[in-house]
Structure 1
């Protein structure tokens, strides 16, 4: 668990909600089981966060295009929540965020939250300066007012 330069302990005196960032990748999903275990130990609720990239104005103006990405992506986090509920007996809620930059969308969402911790994975593939944390997790860590748990992907998952 890390606290970046913007960490505000006054807003996050305890952890009531563990927010897990998922992006559809196996590495991101591999931290779900450890996150469920951590949420149980903290007696916190679990929330999945997923960012849907905003479509260009041209694409969203095409007939039959409006809302399909959002429906598909909410189906993705709904299925993850259902899988956790069935496998672990743990209730999970979720939120689909929108933006062209995942770190900005997550930070915007977190800006009004209190007593939360963000959990995310890092791929660590973005260059020597980002070996400890990928670009999105690094950006969240540096901008978030809450504690951030950056986990390496669980091997074999």
Structure 2
């Protein structure tokens, strides 16, 4: 069993009310003063790719515009959750991870920092939508090698 001072929690967020609900639930029901919180945001994969003019894809100018919008969104999310951590006296950090499969990036990050718990919000999609589109929280629950707390905002 790990010592409490080594108890690391990963909280995956975006800019939705579901993520804020998960943060608030974690803060009120789970957090202890000795826990270390890693708030992570998975950036859009396209925002960090290099495009060459010969690829017949989006122009470099359009990619730059998309990346600028994504960077602005990330800054907004970082500011929001950094303030929430400070306001709640939570020892933590904000980290951006990127990649194709959000659930996979969250699990990779959890494993890299040896977190004991993953916390994630969910939109509470119905079974048909989850089956057709997949769900980040469902994938994390099925693939993580640690406990996962899924917070559903009603």
Which bin holds the TM-score, normalised by the shorter protein? 0.7 to 0.9
TM-score (norm 1): 0.71
**Other-structure match for 2:83:** 83
Residue of structure 2 in register with 1:48 after alignment: 39
Tell me the equivalent position of 2:110: 110
Matched residues in 2 for 1:102 and 1:82: separation? 21
Residues 45 and 92 of structure 1 are in contact (CA less than 8 Å); yes or no, is this contact kept in structure 2?
Answer: yes
Tell me the alpha carbon deviations over residues 47-101 of structure 1, each in whole angstroms, 9 at most, x when there is no partner. Answer: 1111111116444833771752553243133212332144322233111111232
Look at both structures and tell me which one has the larger radius of gyration over its CA atoms: 2
Question: 1:62: which partner in 2?
Answer: 61
In structure 2, do the counterparts of structure 1 residues 139 and 87 end up closer, same or farther at CA, with 3 Å as the change threshold? same
CA distance in structure 2 between the partners assigned to 1:83 and 1:52 by the alignment: 20
Residues 83/112 of structure 1: CA separation in 2 closer, same or farther (3 Å cut)? closer
**Whole-Å separation in 2 of the counterparts to 1:126 and 1:51:** 23
Mapped contact 1:36–1:46 kept (Cα < 8 A): no
Could you list the structure 1 runs, at least 4 aligned residues long, displaced by more than 4 angstroms after superposition: 12-15, 128-131
Q: Within the alignment, does 1:98 sit opposite 2:98 as a pair? A: yes
Aligned pairs, number: 141
1:18 maps to 9
Aligned to 1:30: 21
Deviations 1:115-141 (A, max 9, x none): 42100112221425959xx71111011
